[in-house]
Amino acid sequence: MKPYQAIPIHECHEPLVPIPLDRFAVVDPHPYQALGAPYGDQSPFWLRAGVLERLDRALDHLQTEYPGWRIQIFDALRPIPVQQFMVERAILEVAIARNLDPATLSDHDRAAILPEVQTFWAIPSSDPGTPPPHSTGGAIDVTLVDEHGEPIDMGSPIDELSPRSYPDHFAQSDLEQASDFHQRRQILQRILTHAGFAQHPQEWWHFCYGDQMWAWLSHAPHAYYGRVSDAT
């Protein structure tokens, strides 16, 4: 159990709303849909109304400082089956990196891999008190694109299972371009947190509002958003 999962949820029943894809840039095709993740008839581009309001505010702030730049949506709403699908892919990715055969992965090997996977992925649960952040409609994975629509290089790709994903990884690095990567991550962090979001401690791209992680990081007494299926 992660620390934020102990935060109580007082569901506010705020509705889900579609992200206006003409206003925000998107990764197309959606990366998890392209892998075959089981979305069914659900779209990944939905958020709670209050989250979208804050995302709009962040975009306005960004364009005041950097005209023409936009927030690019990598992922937003993630149903539980999709979360499970992506966790299993992450387990296989780590297994291959450890020179293990995914087809014959033992329970012992799987248990040894899980802590690394859990650093970046929330293991889905049937308990409504411990929903994965993205299954609440309160979490979003984002990056930035410039005035030409080109993604800003943040030093590592979204979903990379490595310390390079930590928001401040390049702060003390002497690698070439490290200061550029850190400055760009700081821009993203500043515009999102200014709008009320909290940033995942291990993921430069993950921001949230209203869910358990946000409550834990913000020292709020409770979360507003539970699992979407329990809120409707």
Asked if residue 180 belongs to a domain, the reply is no
Asked if residue 191 belongs to a domain, the reply is no
Question: How many domains does the chain divide into?
Answer: 1
Asked if residue 152 belongs to a domain, the reply is no
Asked if residue 28 belongs to a domain, the reply is yes
**Element (DSSP H or E) covering residue 62:** helix 49-65
Per residue of the chain (232 residues), give pLDDT as tens: 899 999 999 999 999 999 999 999 999 899 999 999 999 999 999 999 999 999 999 999 999 999 999 999 999 999 999 999 999 999 999 999 999 998 888 999 999 999 999 989 998 988 999 999 999 999 999 999 999 999 999 999 999 999 999 999 999 898 889 999 999 999 999 999 999 999 999 999 999 999 999 999 999 999 999 999 866 5
Asked if residue 179 belongs to a domain, the reply is no
Phi, psi of 90 (to 5 degrees): -65, -40
Asked if residue 166 belongs to a domain, the reply is no
Single pTM value for the model: 0.94
Asked if residue 37 belongs to a domain, the reply is yes
Angle between helices 49-65 and 178-194 (to 10 degrees): 130
CATH number, residue 115: 3.30.1380
Catalytic member of 11, 150, 160, 203: 203
Asked if residue 226 belongs to a domain, the reply is yes
Q: 150 catalytic, yes or no?
A: no
- Domain, as residue range, for 124: 3-147+209-231
Q: Is 167 left (phi over 0), alpha (psi -120 to 50) or beta?
A: alpha
